[in-house]
Amino acid sequence: MSSASTITTDTLQVVVRRREVQGGAVVVLDLRSADDSPLPAFEAGAHIDVHVAEDLVRQYSLCGDPADAGRYRLGVLRDPASRGGSSAVFDRLSEGTTLTIGAPRNHFPLAADAQHSVLVGGGIGITPMISMAHALQAAGRSFELHYCARSAASSAFVDELTAAPFADKVTLHFDDAGEASKLQLAAILAAAGTSGTHLYTCGPSGFMEWVIATGEKAGLPSASIHREYFNADIDTSGAGFEVVAQASGKTVRVEEGQSIVAALKTIGIKVEVSCEEGVCGTCVCTVLEGECDHRDVYLTDEEKADNDQIMTCCSRAKSARLVLDI
């Protein structure tokens, strides 16, 4: 992750040129410009904001080859617990559909100084890893890609990965294949060594925490462990506090169980939100006074320590009062 930024105002009109359902619950979409002209370049690990419907914007990783200037590729899992995003993608985006997207943004970039990269994707978290593998392969850099999922039958991109130019660097780990297929991450990191090795992970939160903890136990410095969450549990418990919206000249009380965004809305201040889980960074606000209780997974530990930004969809205050530049 990198410095916080608000949702981009640069939007593009694209057309769904190809739609395919893989693994039963993952829709793979190829997006191109209406006239098939080149789309803005993107770096491995980038994502785009997809305007699925009015007031419904979701972030999805680009999983294609960054060298393919004419296409943005997405893989979206239909989540039974969807708050509208993935279900709408499945139900509304068919071949020929025109939609609005944001220009690519990257909070999950590859480290330029890595001597060896270990890419670990869990389930639909494989998507940013595919673009990373393409970029590393093209640059002639050392890497390995590990894809962990329940089964081959329920997984997307299996055929694509086994036929990719970097197929010899891909290892598939499926739960139904037994113990022999299990990811032995500690052994992999021990073999790679800690000098110059970087670890990247994306997937379900519990899986990612295990990967991160294994990396830390192996002795990798925190700066060499990279992560991207696509969802997170929200906790808005705790005592209420006051928020002063300095630029607007208004003050509001944020009650227990209420988000700052929701409280501000009651006094006519609208903060743009997207994920509502502290993942995407859309709702970031500048903190002028007060102590934050950071509950997001977007800001780095260093950014949280700076205490000058807050994710208003989920974070709270340790102090009785927060002053925001809004």
- Of 149 and 85, the structure prediction assigns the larger pLDDT to 149
The reply to whether 260 and 183 lie within a common domain is: no
The region that residue 163 occupies, defined by phi over 0 for left and psi between -120 and 50 for alpha, beta otherwise, is alpha
pLDDT tens digit string along 10-50? 889 999 999 999 999 999 999 999 888 999 999 999 999 99
* Angle, helices 205-217/185-192, rounded to nearest 10 degrees: 40
Decide if 106 contacts 281 (C-beta within 8 A). no
Mean pLDDT estimate for the chain: 91
**Mean per-residue pLDDT, 92-100:** 94
pLDDT tens digit string along 210-221? 999 999 999 999
1 pLDDT higher than 50: no
Q: Identify whether 282 is part of a domain.
A: yes
Tokens representing 4? 């916080």
Q: Identify whether 110 is part of a domain.
A: no
The reply to whether 205 and 254 lie within a common domain is: no
197 pLDDT higher than 90: yes
Decide if 285 contacts 271 (C-beta within 8 A). yes
Q: Identify whether 294 is part of a domain.
A: yes
The reply to whether 94 and 125 lie within a common domain is: no
Write down the pTM of the prediction: 0.82
Q: Name the least confident of 2-16, 17-31, 117-131, 198-212.
A: 2-16
Q: What is the pLDDT of residue 5?
A: 35
E strand intervals along the chain: 11-22, 26-33, 47-53, 56-61, 72-77, 98-102, 116-122, 143-149, 170-174, 197-203, 225-229, 241-245, 250-254, 284-289, 292-293, 309-311, 316-317, 321-324
Q: Identify whether 6 is part of a domain.
A: no
pLDDT tens digit string along 60-80? 999 999 999 899 999 999 987
Q: Structural domain of residue 21, as residue ranges?
A: 11-102
What residue type is 191 in one-letter code? Answer: A
The reply to whether 225 and 262 lie within a common domain is: no
- Of 179 and 2, the structure prediction assigns the larger pLDDT to 179
The reply to whether 177 and 260 lie within a common domain is: no
Q: Identify whether 120 is part of a domain.
A: yes
The reply to whether 292 and 265 lie within a common domain is: yes
The last residue of a domain, from among 202, 229, 256: 229
Decide if 173 contacts 180 (C-beta within 8 A). no
The reply to whether 82 and 31 lie within a common domain is: yes
- End-to-end alpha carbon distance in the chain: 24
